[in-house]
Amino acid sequence: MDSLQVEPQLLQRYDRPGPRYTSYPTAVEFHERFGAAEYAACLRSLKLDQGLSLYLHLPFCEHRCTFCGCHVVITPKREVAGRYLEYLEREMDLVCGHLASRPKVIQYHWGGGTPTYYAPDQIRHLHALVQARFAIEPGAEVAIEVDPRVTTREHIDALLEVGFNRLSMGVQDFTPEVQEAIDRNQEEASTRELYSYCRQLGFNSINLDLIYGLPKQTPEGFARNLEIVLELRPDRVALYSYAHVPWIRGHQKYIEVEALPPREIKFALFLQARRAFLEAGYQQIGMDHFALPTDELSQALGQRRLRRNFMGYTVQRSPQMMGLGISAIGQLSGAYVQNQKKLSTYYESIEAGRLPVERGYALSEDDQVRQHVIAELMCNLYLNFAEVEARFGINFGEYFASELVELEAGPAADGFARIGEGCIEVTGLGQLFVRNTCMLFDRHLREKPPARPQFSRTV
């Protein structure tokens, strides 16, 4: 598993644009015919006894990194960010007005942007607003994304005080030449200091984010990043492939395409990191995460009960996720819903007393079948035909006859998957190309190939 080799011809064949499948159908299928009225109906039909995943999008940053693919608002004006909290509270009230009772939350996440853009007292205030409307269950996963460049000890004190138990720290790359190329200045020493302080306070679940495929990255420079991360020994590592999508994120046009590592070097960077983490005792989770054996993600993978949503890999089984704030996406009552992406339209909707919905998508029966199939392959690397048949009342071989033929002739023939007696199993090699395998089961992608670029490349 730690010495995988991929022929250049195979790498070229499978390097194509494709979804990352944080959802199925993907967000490109969302449409404006699904609006506030449809979202309200979903809220009223929520099964509140099942528990809820709750996501808050806090979009503000002091500075824009040119590699960033997130929906952010850049401003030095703290009063702008303070006003946003007022509207976030009003959105909570609008949403809760459609619920029969106070929902219990089993997974709770703040993302961005930079949530620690806010002052410690603002963090305490926002959490209190949430607690007044949602019942955060004992033992809930309470996580936040942290930028070490702007996060102080006082921030960490406040996060621990209000109950956060998971931290995700952005690192990306410590190499000075790479940082200059992506317009992100982050000192190794200050990152180490903040990490150590979090450990001293008792945070026992810390994730570090790395990105491979950034401009001017080399195997030699990336090796130093891996040494630093392994010295810190976080519980989890997210090893993301840089998604160069300047047609979606215009600021990525400032990245010199010539400075991006070519396909073979980029893939080698991933294999280099993968080998280092496996040799250090980590387990690979899905396509781009690694976790220590003691981490619950590793344990869930071993029991084939790993899940994935817009927050990332998780062990929480709730199919219901509510998103609050601009651009936030929720998944509930058989539908996806996404909020307005612009501050001005988000504010206008709330001032008018409307749920600030921009678009959404109601899943068909076929969507739900394929959603389950793709999620199992992406998360647990294994699909049991009988389980799918029992859950959805179909004959798997008949329903997916053409997909199985393509799977056997493509990914299975190339060693990415094994089609067994009543199952599909993704191999160690196939784990690196699991997006390509899942694309075979994506009806929308098969029937409506995009006329223009919509996804990042799979390598």
In this structure, the answer to whether residues 292 and 401 fall within a common structural domain is no
Q: Would you call 103 exposed, middle or buried from its count of C-beta atoms within 10 A (0-12, 13-18, 19+)? A: buried
In this structure, the answer to whether residues 84 and 225 fall within a common structural domain is yes
pLDDT per position as a tens digit, 298-352: 988 888 888 887 777 888 767 799 999 999 999 999 999 999 999 999 999 999 9
Per-chain mean pLDDT for the chain: 93
Amino acid at 293: P
Q: Could you give the 3-state DSSP secondary structure of residue 357?
A: strand
Residues present in the chain in total: 459
pLDDT per position as a tens digit, 203-232: 989 999 999 999 999 999 999 999 999 999
Closest by alpha carbon to 94, among 360, 356, 326, 342? 356
The H or E element containing residue 302 is helix 296-302
* 337 in a structural domain: no
Residue 278 vs residues 164, 234, 284, 459: alpha-carbon distances, Å: 28, 14, 7, 20
> What confidence score (pLDDT) does residue 406 get?
96
d(CA 169, CA 159): 14
pLDDT at position 353 over 90 = yes
* 341 in a structural domain: no
* 88 in a structural domain: yes
- Asked if 116 and 157 touch (Cβ cutoff 8 Å), the reply is no
Closest by alpha carbon to 215, among 185, 260, 173, 256? 260
d(CA 90, CA 15): 45
In this structure, the answer to whether residues 290 and 392 fall within a common structural domain is no
* 453 in a structural domain: no
Q: Regarding predicted confidence, which is higher, 451 or 142?
A: 142
Diameter of the chain measured on Cα atoms: 61
Q: What is the mean pLDDT of residues 245-274?
A: 88
In terms of residue numbers, what domain contains 408? 1-21+364-448
In this structure, the answer to whether residues 296 and 372 fall within a common structural domain is no
The H or E element containing residue 339 is strand 335-339
Residue 64 vs residues 61, 292, 346: alpha-carbon distances, Å: 7, 32, 22
- Asked if 76 and 44 touch (Cβ cutoff 8 Å), the reply is no
- In degrees, rounded to 5, the angle at the alpha carbon of residue 208 between the alpha carbons of residues 207 and 211 is 135
Amino acid at 292: L
Q: What is the mean pLDDT of residues 410-431?
A: 94
In this structure, the answer to whether residues 75 and 187 fall within a common structural domain is yes
pLDDT per position as a tens digit, 423-457: 999 998 899 899 999 999 999 998 887 667 778 78
In this structure, the answer to whether residues 229 and 244 fall within a common structural domain is yes
Q: What is the pTM of this model?
A: 0.93
pLDDT per position as a tens digit, 100-110: 899 999 999 99
Q: Specify the CATH number for the domain of residue 423.
A: 1.10.10.920
Q: Which two tokens stand for residue 417?
A: 């998957």
d(CA 353, CA 87): 11
> What confidence score (pLDDT) does residue 3 get?
62
In this structure, the answer to whether residues 60 and 206 fall within a common structural domain is yes
Which residues on adjacent β-strands are paired with residue 419?
424
In this structure, the answer to whether residues 8 and 49 fall within a common structural domain is no
Out of 321, 356, 382, pick the residue that ends a domain. Answer: 321
Q: Could you give the 3-state DSSP secondary structure of residue 168?
A: strand
Phi, psi of 160 (to 5 degrees): -65, -40
* 415 in a structural domain: yes
Q: Specify the CATH number for the domain of residue 158.
A: 3.80.30.20
* 127 in a structural domain: yes
Phi, psi of 394 (to 5 degrees): -125, 165
> What confidence score (pLDDT) does residue 69 get?
81
* 203 in a structural domain: yes
In this structure, the answer to whether residues 26 and 15 fall within a common structural domain is no
How many domains does the chain fold into?
A: 2
Closest by alpha carbon to 185, among 159, 150, 230? 150
Q: Regarding predicted confidence, which is higher, 251 or 203?
A: 203
| Across 12-21, 324-333, 368-377, 400-409, least confident range | 12-21
d(CA 341, CA 357): 9
Percentage of the chain beyond pLDDT 90 is: 77
In this structure, the answer to whether residues 381 and 302 fall within a common structural domain is no
Percentage of the chain beyond pLDDT 70 is: 99
Within a 13 Å sphere around the CA of 366, how many CA atoms are in the beta-carbon half? 6
Out of 287, 321, 355, pick the residue that ends a domain. Answer: 321
- Give residue for tokens 């959805």: 392
Beta strand residue intervals within 161-309, DSSP E: 166-172, 206-212, 236-241, 283-285, 289-291, 307-309
- Peptide bond connecting 25 to the previous residue in cis, omega within 30 degrees of 0: yes
* 326 in a structural domain: no
pLDDT at position 5 over 80 = no
d(CA 118, CA 147): 12
Q: Regarding predicted confidence, which is higher, 429 or 369?
A: 369
1 confidence band (pLDDT: 50, 70, 90): very low
Closest by alpha carbon to 24, among 364, 287, 318, 286? 364
Closest by alpha carbon to 330, among 28, 43, 96? 43
d(CA 328, CA 320): 14
In this structure, the answer to whether residues 293 and 408 fall within a common structural domain is no
> What confidence score (pLDDT) does residue 451 get?
66
In this structure, the answer to whether residues 250 and 383 fall within a common structural domain is no
pLDDT at position 8 over 90 = no
